[in-house]
Amino acid sequence: MAEIKHTVVLGITGSIAAYKGADLCSKLTQAGFDVNVIMTASAQELVRPRTFLTLSRNPVMTDLWSVPDWRPGHIELSERASILVIAPATANIIGKLACGIADDALSTFALSHQGALLIAPGMNPRMWANPAVQENVEKLKRRGAVFAGPASGRVACGADGDGRMAEVDVIMQQVMKILN
Q: How many domains does the chain have?
A: 1
What CATH number is given to the structural domain containing 104? 3.40.50.1950
* Domain contains 109: yes
> Annotated active-site positions, please?
157
Beta strands in the chain (DSSP E): 7-12, 34-39, 81-89, 116-121, 146-147, 151-154, 160-164
Per-residue pLDDT of the chain (180 residues), as tens digits, is 445 579 999 999 999 999 999 999 999 999 999 999 999 999 999 999 999 999 999 999 998 766 555 455 556 777 889 899 999 999 999 999 999 999 999 999 999 999 999 999 999 999 999 999 999 999 999 999 999 999 888 777 777 878 899 999 999 999 999 998
Give CA separation, 48 vs 59, 62, 91, 120, in Å.
12, 10, 21, 20
User: Domain for residue 101, yes or no?
Assistant: yes
Find residue 127's DSSP bridge partners. none
* % of the chain beyond a pLDDT of 90: 75
Enclosing domain of residue 170 = 7-179
Structural domain includes residue 60: yes
Helix (H, G, I), strand (E, B) or coil at 154: strand
Q: What is the pTM of this model?
A: 0.91
Residue 38 lies in a domain: yes
What is the tens place of the pLDDT at every residue in 132-164? 999 999 999 999 999 999 988 877 777 787 889
Positive/negative CA dihedral, 44, 71, 108, 88: negative
> Would 105 be classed as within a structural domain?
yes
Instruction: Please state, as a whole number, how many other Cβ atoms lie within 10 Å of the Cβ of residue 108.
Output: 22
In a domain, 1, yes or no: no
- Which helix (H) or strand (E) segment holds residue 132: the answer is helix 131-142
Q: Can you tell me the distance from the alpha carbon of 40 to that of 107, in angstroms, rounded to the nearest whole number? A: 9
Cα dist. 10→7, 29, 32, 171 in Å? Answer: 10, 11, 14, 12
| 22 inside domain | yes
- Provide the 3-class DSSP secondary structure of residue 84: strand
Q: Is residue 2 included in any domain, yes or no? A: no
CA distances from 158 to 27, 95, 103, 149, 153 (A): 28, 24, 31, 19, 9
